[in-house]
Each structure stands twice: as C-alpha cells, then as structure tokens.
Amino acid sequence: MRVMAQMGMVMNLDKCIGCHTCSVTCKQAWTNRAGMEYVWFNNVETRPGQGYPRRYEDQDRWYGGWTLNRRGKLALKAGGRVKKLFGIFASPVQPELKDYYEPWTYDYKTLVDAPLGDDFPVARPKSLITGEDTKITWSANWDDDLGGSTEHGHLDPIVEKIRRESEDKIKFAYEQTFMFYLPRICEHCLNPSCMASCPSGAIYKRVEDGIVLVDQDRCRGWRQCVTGCPYKKIYFNHKTGKAEKCTFCYPRVEVGLPTVCSETCVGRLRYLGLFLYDADAVTAAASVTDPQDLYDAQMDVLLDPHDPRVQAEARAQGIPDDWLDAARRSPVYALAKVYKVALPLHPEYRTMPMVWYVPPLSPVVDLLRDQGHDGEDAGNLFGAIDALRIPVEYLAELFTAGDTGRVTAVLRKLAAMRSFMRGISMGEDPDESIPESVGMDGQGMYDMYRLMAIAKYSERYVIPTAHLEQAHDLEEPGLLFGFRRRTGHAGLGTVRRGERQTRPGGRGHVPRPAGPAELGHHCRGDKPAREGEPAELGRPRRPAGTFPGQGPGAGHPGRCRGPAVNRPAMNRRDQVVYLAAAWCLSYPDGQLVGRVPLVRAALSEFPGALAGFAPVLDLLEGTPPMELQAQYVREFDLGRRHALHLSYWTDGDTRRRGEVLGLFKEAYRHSGVLVDLDGELPDYLPMVLEFAARVDGEAGQELLQRYRASLEMLRLGLLRDNLPHARILAAVCATLPGKSPQDEQEVMRMAGYGPPTESVGLDPYDPRLLPVRRS
C-alpha cells in the first residue's frame, strides 16, 4: 500500500441553477488573455445537450481516454508511443474552433462614437479571430436551457446512444422535458490520459495533492494531450503555442482557500477535500474488464482515513498529521465513499476522475410535480425513479457507464432524505422506515442531510494548507521588512543576506531574517532561543543588550558599519515596545501568531509593559486565523478609519503624498539602510516601528514624533471603535515626548491641519474643464 493524498471536488447537481458565476469568475481569474479567448477551464452545460466543445463525449471521434488492448492492458485510445511517434508531426485529432466556438466581441466603440442619426447606435458582433463582422452561430453554451433542441438535441452522444440501445426513446416533447446543469472542470484524474499522451513529459501530477498541471517551460505544443483528455479539458493557447488547463486554483488551495469556482458558487453546490488512495492499486483498478465495474474499483482505491493502518502507512509516506486530520474531515470522502451518493463522471474512460457528482433528483421531482403528484412523498418518489426510465438511463450513461442500478440507488437515497426530512420539519416523529428502506439509519441520514443541505463554508471546504514552512527556518523570528545595510560608502551597496522566502499564510514574499545584528560578523552561528533562555524579542540568538548602537559593542568598528553606529543608546524598553507594536499591528499570519508567546515573555520583563499589549495578544491567540485575518483586513486594509499609513492622515490620496513617502525612504536611507518594502508603502506604521526598534532609534523616534498627530488620530479612531489595538498605540505614544491629546479637536490643533485636500491639479468641477463655449 502506497498512500497518497488527492484534492477532490464533489458537485451536488440538484443545487446547480446554471447561473455561470463559476465560469465567469474562473475565466476572469485564469483565461482572460489573448490566445485563450475561446477557453473556459470551467463551463456549465445543459444536459441533454452537446456540451463544450461539441460532442466531446464522442470518443469514437476524439479518441480520448484509455481503452483495454487485446491483452487486457490499459492503452491510450489514441494509440501508444509508437503510433504517436510516427504521427507526431501530423495534426492530432482535436476539436477545432467550430467545435468550441468562434469567440467574438462587439463594436462597443460605435455606442459612443456614432454620428447623430435617426436611430440610436448599436454594437454589432465582431469576430475575435478575424476582427470582421460576424453572425453568431455557436457559443460556449449554445444549447443553454435546451435552446435549439429541435436542431441539435439529437447530437448529444448520450441521447444518440440511448435512442440506439434503449427501448424507451428520448423524445424532445414538452410533456417529457427534463434537464439539468452539469458544471465541469478538469477531473484531476488518478490515471490521467493527458499526462500519458504528452511526448514532452510536460504534464505532471503533483505528489502532495494530485493536482494535474502543465509545465509551461517543457510544453512543446504537440497537442497530444488535447486528444488524450476525454473530457476535453486541456486547451491549446494559440498565442503561446502551449497547452493550458484548469489548475484547481492551486495557489489558493495551497493557502487553504477554495478554488475560485467553489468560492463564488451561488448554489453552494461544491465541496472540496482530500481523498487518501492507494497509488499502487490505481493501474489494476483502471484495468478491470467490465466498464460497469470501474466505479467499484475506483471506490476500492480510496482508503479509509479513519483506519489506523492507513494512518500509520500515510505517516510513513510523509503525509503530515494535519493533512490526515483534513482527510478524516473530508466532505468529498463522506459523499463519495461513506454515503455513496457522489459518482465519478464517465468512469468508462478509465482515467479515475477525482471530480465527483451527486446526480440530480430534480428531473424526477419536477416531472412528478408537473403531473400533479406530491414530489416529496417517499412512495411516489421511489415509484417515479423506477418508472421514469429516461432520466435515470441518461444519468447512468454519464456517471456509471450505463449501470442504472447504481444511479437508482443514489436517487433513492436522495429521495429518502428529502422525504425523511420533510416529515421532521413538519413536526412528525422521524420515520425510521424511510432510511431503512435505503440501508441507512435515521442518524446517518440526518448527518447526510446536514452535509448536503446546511454545511457551512468550513465544512464544505476542508483544505489543508501546503507545508511551505518546512522549507523555512521558523525558529528565528525575523523582521517583517527587509532593512538592508548599505555597505560602507559605496552608495546603494549590496545585499548581505537577501534570500527571499514565502511567508505561510500568503502575503507574498518577505526577506529572510536579516536584522542589523547579522550585519556584524559575530552573529553567525548563534543558536535559536530555547526554553529557559532569556526571551528576547526579535533576536533570541544574540546576547542581551547588543542592539546596534547599544551596549558594550556599540561603536565598535567591527560590529556595525555605516552611519547608524554611534547613535545614542535607545531606551531598551522602548525598543521592545516598538517591536512588539510593529508585530501586533501587522497582518496576523501564522508566523506572527506563533511569536505571541515570545512577545509576551519579552514584554513581561518590563514592569507594566505587557498590560497595553495583552488584549491584542489574547486576541491573536484566541481567534481562528481566518477570522483574525478577515478582521485585520476589514479594520486596517479596507477602511480609512484606522489607516496604518502615517502620511495618509496628513496627505491622504493627494498628489503631495508621493513626495512625503519619498521623505520616509530618505530617512531610512539616511540611517544607512535600504528597505525592501515588499509592496508596502514606506510610511506603514509597523515598518516605521521596526525601523525605530532595530535600525535607528533616534531617527525612528523622530519620524514617529513628526507624525505624532497621525498616531493620535489612529489611536482615537481605534478607541472609538473599541479595538484593543488602541492601547498599543497609547503605549507607543507614551514613549514619545509630550502628553497625548484627549480628543480629535485637540489633535487637529496640535497638528494645525484639517482633512487632506488636493493642492495640485484641477478640481473636477473646475470651470477650466468645461467645454469651451464658442462665441
């Protein structure tokens, strides 16, 4: 047994309203680029319907997926390596633009540019390929809501098959109408045929979470993957000449966020979570003879995350404990394997798809209701599932290689749940006979209902974060901003240790810890803080009292170079307060939260210092990270009430601000450091505080005092909104000369300024902007 983890998705089709929000947000995020105009990583098809691209399920034409060869071994339907090699320069079998659609835009410019005429102007369609006028004859979703069924309905490969093989023919008649929506993304298969098709080895399946990606550097544009994927979810970018595909939004998933399509889903029909599977068993499972056995085989590959043997094996394979925990809480595992209501899409392609679907009961319920029956009565529903063969056969062709028994079993479970819960919400005693009739008990059925009907965000999306921190040395808390010493007098100098690392939690890159202490030669090889050692903020690995320009080493030429040396010693307590404040006011990612004990310990070395910080530290420790970060963004990033940028208060978003920000940078440079702003503005309060604490106490305090009014305004703003951070601001202000003002009026008087106003440029209503009147 080789245990591997796989990110998977389940979509509950009963909840899909076909709004296309997933498609639009996905396109905006991923394929809103030249060369990708026709590409929809996520699309929503109305079924019965041809889908996108047209008739992609017709593998007799497209040769996608796997088949069993004469020896019963798996082989690509499009042919093995030898065939591929001989045909490599021929254009592979792949859908053309007419099979996707010819993307278009409109002549929007006419709407504003048209000369005065008898009719109002109108934007006519223009092809995005040729740029010429065009008549729209096909789109990414032409047959939406069964539109055009008279012309195209019979072209749905499943309709064709059922008409050919079943005694009940699908008729496109008003009275027998059934339809549902099928949202599709890449299946991130366990046995991906696209990957096997690639002659360049550019497609890979990530070891840690099974996401299938195309390496853009290795892709040579052979397009064999487009043929190989039976779901036609790999697309050719005709500008770059490379293949692109759904990425399962891995940059989001890595930091614990759901994919864009899931996040924005209006119907909340998507579930994300982990599967554990036995990688050694995949090939055998994909090779079972009867396509209708593939579902069972796929289920057997999935491992029970509660099984201690599986857990032990997973640990041995290096799967971290929090991932195992996530696998136990996985909603996709529950729906697929525990409740057995989620089914894979087209298992007969033998790719072991990992995006699963709960088949829709609504076609059955709707038909019942339209015929005047009670669509929630268990008896009626069970009868209808058996009687209404057409929807069931159609679903079976999609999800179980034509095995209607399995689809019926799932639909009966859904019908039983609907009926059972209706009884409960009508105030009746739970009717245990209903769950029993589908082999479940009342509690299990209730749990399933909870997961399918009212599961909250955190229950629908159980996403363990990527273990980036293993790559980092978290034992030494570093600076948030990269203050880099300018060397000697050589102007802009070089960076001493500027390797970058990613902060887990995701605000991009910050430099590796590179504090002033490292600038001296003596600091290398110092040990990280251990229990029992004196807790010292920021630099546990240095002996106490050796902040630059302070303690016995201050002024020693070998210790620190540049103008920062020989500054008068700064109060040690102030230094700790500044650093603690810098961290408490920064974005609360995991790393910062992890430093809370250290901050607490350091502050408690100074009598009374901890009190002002305690509420925020408690908040940091006692709040779930998502909530904490949401609060931070809400309070500090989005609004202007608590702006953490000092010159925002004095200069706002006026054109003067650039100059003022330049002065901050100049102050830093004057102290002999370059600051890696990391996307922040140089007047960001935590940066100024860190500068004061770690680089140049005097200059830092000077800056703080110069923007004292901003600090006080911020303090009063925080106070007004009952945010505990107000006390931190009070502690910082207390280190500065002079008493804190009582209210905002007093601050205004102190600073002698009002709200920021623009002193450059033209007012929007400036008469100079009005059209020149001809006289």
Partner 1 sequence: MLGGAADGRPAMDTDAKMAEAILAFSGTTNGILSVQGFKDLEVRTGMKLADLAEGSEEKFITFAQTQAGPVPVITSPEWSGSETGGRRYAPFTINLERLKPFHTLTGRMHFFLDHDWMTDIGEGLPIYRPPLDMHRLFGEPRLGSDGAMEVTVRYLTPHSKWSIHSEYQDNLLMLSLSRGGPTVWMSPADADAIKVHDNDWVECTNVNGVLVARAIVSHRMPAGVVYVHHAQERTIDVPKSEATGRRGGIHNSVTRLLVKPSHLAGGYARLAYAFNYLGPTGNQRDMVATVRRRSQEVQY
Kindly state whether residue 756 participates in binding partner 1, applying the rule CB under 8 A: no
Residue 731 near residue 573, CB atoms below 8 Å: no
Distance CA 413, CA 364 (A): 13
Of the residues 67, 74, 129, 144, which one makes contact with partner 1 according to CB under 8 A: 144
Contact 291, 347 (CB under 8 A): yes
Q: Does 652 bind partner 1 (CB under 8 A)?
A: no
Q: Give how far Cα 461 sits from Cα of 15, 262, 414, 458, Å.
A: 16, 9, 22, 5
Segment lying near partner 1 (by CB under 8 A), choices 122-130, 491-499, 668-676, 686-694: 122-130
Instruction: Give yes or no for residue 764 binding partner 1 (CB under 8 A).
Output: yes
Contact with partner 1 (CB under 8 A) among 34, 85, 136, 284: 136
Rounded to 10 deg, the angle between the 725-734 and 609-622 helix axes is 150
DSSP state, 472? S
Contacts of 638 (CB under 8 A, 6+ apart): none
Residue 124 as a binder of partner 1 (CB under 8 A): the answer is: yes
Binding mask 64-103 for partner 1 (x = CB under 8 A): -------------------------------------x-x
First-to-last C-alpha distance (Å) of the chain: 90
The owner of tokens 């210790």 is 559
What are the distances in angstroms from CA 630 to CA 29, 54, 118, 297, 582? 21, 43, 54, 43, 19
Write each residue from 178 to 217 as x if it is in contact with partner 1 (CB under 8 A), else as -, in one continuous string: -x--------------------------------------
Residues facing residue 355 across a β-bridge: 9
- The answer to whether 111 contacts partner 1 (rule: CB under 8 A) is yes
Residues whose CB falls within 8 Å of the CB of residue 407, separated by 6 or more in sequence, listed in order: 343, 359, 392, 395, 396, 399, 400
Q: Cβ neighbours of residue 220 under 8 Å, at least 6 residues apart? A: 199, 200, 202
Shortest distance, CB of residue 768 to partner 1, whole angstroms?
15
Closest separation in Å from C-beta 764 to partner 1: 7
Does residue 35 interact with partner 1 by CB under 8 A? no
- Coil, helix or strand at residue 236: strand
Bond into 435 cis (ω within 30): no
Beta carbon nearer to partner 1, 25 or 283: 25
Tokens 């530290």, residue?
617
For the bound state, the minimum distance from the C-beta of residue 691 to partner 1, rounded and expressed in Å, comes to 32
Structural tokens at position 549: 């320009």
**Residue 139 binding partner 1, by CB under 8 A:** yes
Report the residue number, 151 or 637, with the smaller CB distance to partner 1: 151
Q: Rule CB under 8 A: is residue 743 a binding residue for partner 1?
A: no
User: Which x/- pattern, by CB under 8 A, does the window 480-519 give for partner 1?
Assistant: ----------------------------------------
Interface with partner 1 (CB under 8 A), residue total 46
Q: Does 457 bind partner 1 (CB under 8 A)?
A: no
Per CB under 8 A, 149 contacts partner 1: yes
Interface region with partner 1, contact rule CB under 8 A, candidates 78-86, 104-112, 692-700, 735-743 = 104-112
Q: Does 116 bind partner 1 (CB under 8 A)?
A: no
Token look-up 């700064």 returns: 570
H/E stretch holding 101 reads none
CB of 31 to partner 1, least distance (A): 10
Residue 375 identity (one-letter amino acid): G
Q: How far is it, in rounded angstroms, from Cα 55 to Cα 99? A: 8
Instruction: Give me the least distance between CB of 181 and partner 1, in Å please.
Output: 10
Of residues 177 and 292, the one with the C-beta less far from partner 1: 177
Q: How far is the CB of 633 from partner 1 (least distance, A)?
A: 13
Name which of 24 and 74 has its Cβ closer to partner 1.
Answer: 24
Least Cβ distance, residue 104 to partner 1 (angstroms): 7
* x/- track of binding to partner 1 for residues 2-21 (CB under 8 A): ---------------xxxx-
Q: Does 33 bind partner 1 (CB under 8 A)?
A: no
Contacts of the segment 633-636: beta carbons below 8 A, 24+ positions apart: 635/721, 635/723, 636/585
Is the Cβ–Cβ distance between 294 and 348 less than 8 Å? Answer: yes
Residue 104 interacting with partner 1 (CB under 8 A): yes
- Position 148 contacts partner 1 (CB under 8 A): yes
362 lies in the site for partner 1, by CB under 8 A:
no
- Does 145 bind partner 1 (CB under 8 A)? Our answer is yes
Find the binder of partner 1 among 4, 6, 11, 27 (CB under 8 A): 27
For position 119 contacting partner 1 by CB under 8 A, the verdict is yes
Q: Is residue 153 part of the contact set for partner 1 (CB under 8 A)? A: yes
Q: Which of 106, 207, 316, 626 binds partner 1 (CB under 8 A)?
A: 106
Residue among 164, 174, 761, 775 that touches partner 1 (CB under 8 A): 174
- Minimum Å distance from CB 108 to partner 1? 8
Q: Are 26 and 260 in contact (CB under 8 A)?
A: yes
Answer yes or no whether residue 654 interacts with partner 1 by CB under 8 A: no
Of the candidates 185, 189, 128, 178, the one whose C-alpha atom is nearest the C-alpha of residue 153 is 178
Give min distance, CB of 132 to partner 1, in A.
Answer: 14
CB of residue 321 to partner 1, shortest distance in Å = 35
β-strand pairing of 673-676 with 482-485: antiparallel
Residues contacting residue 498 through CB under 8 Å, at least 6 positions apart: 482, 484, 511, 512, 514, 676
Q: Would you count residue 391 as binding partner 1 (CB under 8 A)? A: no
Instruction: Return the closest-CA partner of residue 482 out of 511, 516, 517.
Output: 511
173 near partner 1, judged by CB under 8 A? yes
User: Are the C-beta atoms of 686 and 583 separated by less than 8 Å?
Assistant: yes
CA 597 to chain CA mean position, Å: 30
Q: Of 44-63, which residues contact partner 1 (CB under 8 A)? A: 44
* Biggest alpha carbon–alpha carbon distance for the chain: 95
Question: Which DSSP symbol is given to 70?
Answer: T
**Least spacing, CB of residue 259 vs partner 1, in Å:** 18
Binding site for partner 1 (CB under 8 A): 17-20, 23-24, 27-28, 44, 101, 103-106, 111, 118-125, 136-137, 139-142, 144-153, 172-174, 177, 179, 764-765
